[in-house]
Structure 1
Amino acid sequence: MSGKHTIPAVDKSLKLLQVLAEASEPMTSAQLARKLEITPSTCYRILQTLVGRDWLRGTSNGAFTFSAGMFPLLKPLSDYQKLFESLGAPLRSMVDQTGLTAKISVKQGDVASTVYRVESPRPLSPSFKVGGSFSLAYGSSGACLMAELADEEVDRILSECSSEIWAYQKPEDVWARIRSVRDTGVCLDCGMYQPSVYGLSVSVHNRDQRGFAALSLIGWANDFTEDKLESLKQSLIECAERCTATLGEKAVA
């Protein structure tokens, strides 16, 4: 996230909440300070502020986890999830037709987050959990979500990526996927995120024809051979159009 027009203390607090949300168990103040690379005193003050709001609570072993004060904040998220669950019918139809896993991703800061999925009926297929997130620099869905950004913003996101993101790709590969979305509306990722996992994505648009989310089909390399690609693209485009129609006025970028 760009530091321009942001408040550092708020940014650190939100990052702390994100780290706790992604952790498999409660974390101590010392663990959080190391993870966030902030001073112990700063971490302590953030924690005490959040405990005071009843957003966090201390555990018996000195760690911290979420508290009941967070519940009122979750109501809009529940409505948001219901919005994407309304897309279940068109996604299930596409999965039945293609045999591949389908997922919806949205941009959250500098990451793409999976908000809805329909699993492939096949016994062995790639799987992505709802709530999982990864850098926008990865995959076809990230390219769809960045395609509407200004080039300067894309450059910033790529410049702030960790070295592990470039294990199987270069920045030029990301730009090639973005140009594919801008030029053709469709993007294919040939294992740049996970070498054996391929993805094909298009944008789901809102009423103003702006990209609202990314719709993806996920499978193995042999699912996206040249003889199958055009049919998959057509299925994906038709499903995205149905999603846009279903969302109607409820979709906002």
Structure 2
Amino acid sequence: MSEKSPSSLARMLMVLDFFTEATPVWSVEDIAQKLEVSIPTCYRYMKMLVEAGWLAHQSESCYTFGPRILVMDYYVRQSDPVLQASVPLMQGLVAKTGFECVLSAFYGDRVLDSHHEKSDGKTFLSYGRGMPRPLFRGGAPKVILSHLPSRQLRKIYDGHINELKNAGMPEDWNGFRTYYQGIKKQGFYYSAGELESHLGALAVPIEKQGQPGVWGAMSLVAEISRFDVVDLQKMKVMLEAATLSIAESLV
């Protein structure tokens, strides 16, 4: 295999990261420019990605995500051990509290929601499964980041330093690290209006047993007015019991 092949494969796979909620359709010309490759090379990449089902034709020279994305998402739902262990407990929490329950995890440098159990109320979350969450706002991202090793947290800090001020976070490294150390010591985080102005979220980590790190976080979500009239400590205890049960099932 030539030295060029891995580089070509890496560039082709980079194409999948270009597609976002804001830019769901891309032309060959724009992809070629972003990859810094020729138009014929880009067409070759597109042909391979379409044949594999990762992309689909939107028009003659424009593309969007293909059906294989849906198939892979189905497989993840069926095989993710954290999800399988969490769903019954999340359903129980919703039944007991009447709040929504959300499962979140950390992938690369993104926090994503992997499952959402709805209540009979009208919470109306504007985010859902697979939609990247702001790294520095909301309960789940904060409890997850608080459990990252210092070196990994520093990498997040260095890569997103321009976002800290807008998120109301400490802008110096020592203050940033101390902030998350405080959340880790507390063992939970209550977010009031950080992500959506009318919503609160109480989040606790799903800690790995016998090793550092977390599997993710579980949150109870409702209107802030509802959190104002409940016993936050009792809610936290219920969440912690559920996340401990999940963690123990994954050992």
Q: Structure 1: which amino acid aligns with 2:188?
A: V
Residue 231 (structure 1) shift: 1.6
Once the two structures are superposed, the pairs formed by residues 1-253 of structure 1 within 5 Å of their partners are 13-20=12-19, 22=21, 25-32=24-31, 38=34, 41=37, 45=41, 48-52=44-48, 54-55=51-52, 56-67=55-66, 77-81=76-80, 83-126=82-125, 128-161=127-160, 163=162, 166-171=165-170, 175=177, 178-209=180-211, 210-225=213-228, 228-245=231-248, 247-249=249-251
Q: Structure 2: which amino acid aligns with 1:48?
A: R
Contact 1:84 1:116 survives alignment (8 Å) = yes
Give the direction of change, closer, same or farther, for the CA distance of 1:47–1:125 in structure 2 (3 Å limit).
same
Q: Which runs of 5+ in 2 are unaligned?
A: 1-5
Moved over 6 A (4+): 7-11, 68-72
Contact 1:92 1:118 survives alignment (8 Å) = yes
Q: Structure 2: which amino acid aligns with 1:19?
A: F
Residue 107 (structure 1) shift: 0.6
Distance 2:32 2:145 in 1: 31
Distance 1:63 1:122 in 2: 41
- Where 2:147 maps in the other structure, the secondary structure is coil
Give the direction of change, closer, same or farther, for the CA distance of 1:182–1:71 in structure 2 (3 Å limit).
closer
RMSD of Structure 2 on Structure 1 (CA):
3.5
Q: Structure 1: which amino acid aligns with 2:18?
A: V
The count of aligned residue pairs is 239
Distance 1:46 1:177 in 2: 45
- 1:2-31 deviations in Å (ceiling 9; x for gaps): xxxxx9876654443133264675321345
Distance 1:189 1:176 in 2: 18
Q: Which runs of 5+ in 1 are unaligned?
A: 1-6
Give the direction of change, closer, same or farther, for the CA distance of 1:177–1:162 in structure 2 (3 Å limit).
closer
- 1:31-74 deviations in Å (ceiling 9; x for gaps): 5467xxx2553687456325225233444331113456778866
- Where 2:125 maps in the other structure, the secondary structure is coil
Contact 1:137 1:174 survives alignment (8 Å) = no
Provide the TM-score with structure 2 as the length reference. Answer: 0.75
Q: Which has the larger radius of gyration?
A: 2
Residue 89 (structure 1) shift: 1.6
Contact 2:136 2:169 survives alignment (8 Å) = no
* Corresponding residue for residue 3 of structure 2: none
Give the direction of change, closer, same or farther, for the CA distance of 1:163–1:13 in structure 2 (3 Å limit).
farther
- 1:73-102 deviations in Å (ceiling 9; x for gaps): 667534444751442221111112222111
Q: Percent identity at matched positions?
A: 15
